[in-house]
Amino acid sequence: MVKPQKAVASFDSATGMLRALSRFLRDQDVPMLGQAPRVLEPVAAAVAGAAARLPRAAKEQAYAVSGWAEAVPLRRVPEIRSEELARWVSGHYPRGPYPVAFLGSSNGALIHLAAALRTPWLPQTLLLPVRRRGVGPDDPRGDLRATREAGQALLAANPDLVLHHMHDANQDRLMIAGMTYFRVKWRRLPQAYRRFLEESLPAGATLVVPECGLRWPVTRVGPRYVFQHGALGGATREEYEHGGPRVADYLSRYGAGRERWDYPPADGDSPEAEWGFEPELLADLEELAARNGWRLVRMRFGEPEELSPVVAELYRDWYRRRGLPGDRLLVECFLLLEPWWALRSGSVPYWMVFNAEQSQRRAMAYLDGTDPFDEIRLMLFSHGVESVGLAGIGDWRRLLARARKVGVFTGVDTRAYPRDFAGLIRAHRELSRIRTTYPMPLPMPWEAAAEFLSKRDEIEWSG
Amino acid sequence: MPLESLVRTALGMKVAVWRSQGPGPPVVCVHGAGVSSRELLPFVREMGVTHDAWSLDLPGFGRSEKPRAPLTVTGLADAVADWLAASELRRPCLLGGSFGCQVAVDLAVRHPGAAGALVLVGPTVDARARSAVRLVGQWLRNSVRESPRMMPLNVADYLDAGPRRVLASFGASMRDRIEDKLPHVTVPVLVVRGGADRMVSQAWAEEVTRLLPRGRLVVMEGLPHMVPYRDPRGLAREVAAFLERAW
C-alpha cells in the first residue's frame, strides 16, 4: 500500500489549503508552507534566495525534479486506497465540537471563511501525481496513452472515486515533464470523513457544501474517468483546443516544434478537475445530515474567485464591527495562504486562483468596487513558466499602486518571478514581520456569517 | 546643469549650500549623521534637471561653520528652518537622507508651514532597534552593499566634522524618537526605502509610512541605504512623480 502522504501532492491547492487551515485550528501560522520545521526558515530562505540566481535552465530543472520526486511510480498507483487518503486528510484536524463544517470544493477564500468561523473543511478533490517517462509536456495524447492503464487500475481499486486526468501544457509545463496529474474526487462519502463529521458535529450543527460550478472540456475515457484539456488560468478553453497566436508564440518560445496542442477530441465537459464540485457526492451528504440532525447548506458559486470578494467584504465588515480599521488587504495566490497572519495583522484576505491576467483583472475589479485600502500586500505563486496569459510584474505593480500608503510585494523577488521559488518561503517570513498587530479574535458567529453569505449575489444559497 | 556653490547664514552661522536650478519647485536635501552634502551632489544634479534642487551642509558638518557644542536634532532643524526663511524658499519639498529624515521631520512638526512636502529616504532610527550595538551591526551589514566609491567621501566628511561631532550626531540620532513626531506631520510625505537596505528594515519603513497621516511608501529594489548616491536618477524620478501628485 502507498502511504497517503506519499501519494498526495504536497504542492497542490487542496493540500496547501488543508495544511493552512488545520494549522490555524491548532493556533499556528504557516512557515515553510507547513512543510518543514519553523527553525529552518531563515536557512531555507537564504538557500532558495541564492538558488534564484541560478541560470534559467537549472531553475527549470529544479522545478521538474521537485515535481518528479513527489510523484508515485506508475506501477504503484493501483495500491492507492481512497479510504486511507480520507483518514489522512481528516487526521489533520482536531476533533470538534464545531457548530459548522465544510465539505466540498477547494477554495482559498473558503479557507479564510472557515478560519474566521474556526471550523474544518474536508476537500472533495486531491491531486495524486504519477511518474511517467518518455512523454513530452506538449503531447497530451501520449500522456493519456502512457498512464491510462494505471488510471483504470486506480478506479477499479477505488469505486468511490472519479478520476480527472488533467493535462495542462501551459502552466504545468515543468511539473508534467516527468509526471502526470491524476486528480481524484470522491463521489461517495468515505468512512473516515463520515466518522470525523459524526464525532465533530453535534445535532443541530450545519454541514455546508461549497460547490464550485466551473466546468471544463474533457474526453471521456471510461465511466468514472475523464481526460481534461488544460486548466483554469492564463489560456482559454479555446486556446487549449484550437491553439491561437498566444499558444503558437508560447510553443515557439519553449522550442516545442509545433504551433498548437493536439488534445484528443473533446466529447463533453465535466466538473473542472481542480476546483469543480462533483455533485454525485450530495446524496451521501444529504443522507448523513438527515440521520444526524444537521442542517445541510449548499453554497453554490460559478468560478473559484467569485468567493474572494465575498469573503474579503465579510472580513472587512467584521473588522469594522470590532472597531479595527480594516484598511489592510492581503492578496494571496494559489496555495500561498496565511489565515493566522491575516487575522493577527487585521488584513482583509483576497484570494486569487493563480498568477494569470484573469486573476489580476478580477482583483483590480474588486479594488474598483470597494473603499480604498491603506495597505496592500501581495504574495505571488511562482510556477516557473512564462505561460500564456501570465500577469507580469508590471501588472502586479499596478495593483499595488492602488494602496493609499503601502503597496508592497511580500516575499516576491521581482527579478526572478515567475521562477522565484524562494517566494514560497519568504512570503510567510516577510508577512510575519508586519507591525501593528491585533489579538486573535473569537470565532465569528456562524449565524452572522450565514446571514451575510446568503445575501450575496455571487452565491446561490440553499438549505 | 552646473552646480552652484554658495555660502549663506543660518542662526548666525555660515552654511555651505549647493544648488542646481531647474524649472520646477524647490527640493532641499538634508544629509545624514556625520556626513555632508558630498554624497548628495549627484542627486542634486539629477533633481536639478527638473526642479530647483538644493543641498546644505548642516552646521558642524562638511564645509559649514562649526558651533562650539554639537547641535541636537532640534538645533539642526531650527538652523535649517532659519536658512529656508533667509533664502526665501517658501514651502519647499524637504528631502532627508537617513538621519536627515529626523531633522526634516522635526522641522516639519515644529515649524508648521516651513516645508510643503517631505521625502524621507531611509528614515532612521527603527524604534525597535535603538541600541548602539544593533546600529553598528546594521551599519556594517549594509556597508558591503554600498558603492565603494562612496568610501573616500565618507572619510572626508568624518575628517571635516571631527570624531566628537560624528559621535554626537549618532547619539542625537539614537535619542530622537521620530515615531512620536510622525503622526503630527501634516504635509504629504514620500518614504523611500532601498530594497536591500540593512539599516532600515521593510517593517520599519512601513511603520513610518503608517504613522504619517499622508505617507506613501516606495521601495526601490536592490538598493542599499544610500539610495541618492546609488541611483540618483531613479530617485529624482520618484521625487518628481510624488511632487506632481502632491502639488
The pLDDT of residue A278 is 98
The reported pLDDT for the residue numbered A67 is: 84
Integer angstrom CA distances of residue A220 from A25, A125, A216, B3, B221:
39, 19, 12, 76, 49
Residues 418-457 of A with CB under 8 A from B: 430, 433-436
Phi, psi torsion values for A353, nearest 5 degrees:
-65, -35
Per the CB < 8 A criterion, the answer to whether A128 and A72 are in contact is yes
A401 touches chain B (CB under 8 A): no
According to DSSP, the β-strands at A225-229 and A215-222 are antiparallel
Report CB contact under 8 Å: B221, A415: yes
* A contacts of B210 (beta carbons < 8 Å): 374-375, 405-406, 435-436
Contact A436 B219 (CB under 8 A): no
Place of cell 467569485: A306
Cell of B31: 544629509
Is the pLDDT at B191 greater than 60? The verdict is yes
Q: Centre a 10 Å sphere on the Cβ of residue A245 and count the other Cβ atoms it contains.
A: 10
Q: How far is A31 from chain B (nearest CA, A)?
A: 18
Backbone angles phi, psi at A270, to 5 degrees: -155, 170
**Nearest to A32, CA basis, from A426, A434, A412:** A426
Chain A residues within 8 A of B215 when measuring between CB atoms? 405
- Helix, strand, or coil here: B28? strand
How many of the other CB atoms lie within 10 Å of CB of B25? 17
Cβ atoms < 10 Å from Cβ of B26: 21
Q: Which residue of B has its CA nearest to A431?
A: B203
Residue of A nearest to B188 (CA): A405
Q: Return the SS3 of A356.
A: strand
CB-based burial of residue A291 (10 Å sphere; 0-12 exposed, 13-18 middle, 19+ buried)? exposed
ipTM of the complex: 0.91
Cβ neighbours of B208 in A, within 8 Å? none
CATH number of the domain where residue B218 is located = 3.40.50.1820
CA A416 vs. chain centroid, Å, equals 23
Other C-beta atoms lying within 10 Å of the C-beta of residue A135:
21
Is A435–B203 a contact, with Cβ atoms under 8 angstroms apart? yes
Strands A179-186 and A268-271, bridge-based pairing: unpaired
What pLDDT was estimated at residue A64? 86
* Closest by Cβ to A406, choosing from B201, B206, B221: B206
pLDDT attached to residue A53: 85
Chain B interface includes A325 (CB < 8 A):
no
Q: Note every long-range contact of B134-138, with CB atoms under 8 Å and residues 24 or more positions apart, other chains counting.
A: B135/B170, B135/B174, B135/B199, B138/B198, B138/B199
CA–CA separation, A148 vs A412, rounded Å?
A: 38
What span, in angstroms and rounded, lies between the C-alpha atoms of A75 and A456?
47
User: Where does residue A115 rank: exposed (0-12), middle (13-18), buried (19+ CB within 10 A)?
Assistant: buried
β-partners of residue B13 are B10
The answer to whether the beta carbons of residues A388 and A235 sit under 8 Å apart is yes
Q: Say yes or no for a CB contact (<8 Å) between B217 and A430.
A: no
Interface test with chain A among B211, B212, B217, B218, by most A beta carbons within 10 Å: B217
Q: Do A406 and B202 touch (CB under 8 A)?
A: no
**CA–CA distance, B142 with A229 (Å, rounded to integer):** 50
CB contact under 8 Å between B201 and A405, yes or no, is no
Interface test with A, best of B185, B206, B242 (most A CBs within 10 A): B206
Parallel, antiparallel, or unpaired: how do β-strands A268-271 and A406-409 relate?
Answer: unpaired
Beta bridge partners of A284: none
The DSSP symbol for B61 reads S
List, in sequence order, every residue forming a beta bridge with B117; answer none if it has no partner: B93
Cell numbers representing residue B135 in the block = 546600529
Our CA-based measurement puts residue A377 at a distance from the nearest CA of chain B, in whole angstroms, of 11
pTM for the whole structure: 0.95
A contact test, residue of B209, B212, B218 with most A CBs within 10 A: B209
The backbone torsions φ and ψ at residue A294, rounded to the nearest 5 degrees and listed phi first, read -100, 155
**Mean pLDDT, residues B137-165 taken together:** 90
Note the residue count of chain B. Answer: 247
pLDDT tens digit at each of 463 positions of chain A: 889 999 999 989 999 999 999 999 999 999 988 888 888 888 888 888 888 888 999 988 888 888 888 899 999 999 999 999 999 999 999 999 999 999 999 999 999 999 999 999 999 999 999 999 889 899 999 999 999 999 999 999 999 999 999 999 999 998 888 899 999 999 999 999 999 999 999 999 999 999 999 999 999 999 999 999 999 999 999 999 999 999 999 999 999 999 999 999 999 999 999 999 999 999 999 999 999 999 999 999 999 999 999 999 999 999 999 999 999 999 999 999 999 999 999 999 999 999 999 999 999 999 999 999 999 999 999 999 999 999 999 999 999 999 999 999 999 999 999 999 888 899 999 999 999 899 999 999 999 999 999 999 999 999 8
CA-wise closest residue to A457 among A256, A297, A291, A313 = A313
Give pLDDT, residue A23: 97
- CA B239/CA B216 separation, integer angstroms: 12
Nearest CA of chain B to the CA of A388: how many Å? 27
pLDDT digits (tens, 9 = 90+) for B60-117: 999 999 999 999 999 999 999 999 999 999 999 999 999 999 999 999 999 999 999 9
Number of structural domains found in chain B: 1
Q: Where are the beta strands (DSSP E) in chain B?
A: 4-10, 13-21, 24-30, 51-56, 93-97, 117-121, 189-194, 215-220
Which chain B residue shows the shortest CA-CA distance from A403? B216
Residues A435, B207: contact at Cβ < 8 Å? yes
Instruction: Identify residues of B whose CB sits under 8 angstroms from chain A CBs.
Output: 201-204, 206-207, 209-210, 212, 215-217, 219, 221-222
- The number of angstroms, rounded, from the C-alpha of A31 to the middle of its chain's C-alpha atoms is 17
Q: Are A354 and A360 in contact (CB under 8 A)?
A: no
Beta carbons of B207 and A436 less than 8 Å apart: yes
Q: Which of A219, A223, A228, A249 is nearest to A180 (CA)?
A: A228
Nine-digit cell string for B142: 549594509
Q: How confident is the model at residue B1 (pLDDT cuts 50, 70, 90)?
A: low
* A38 DSSP β-pair partners: none
Domain that residue B169 falls in: 5-244
Res B181 pLDDT > 90: yes
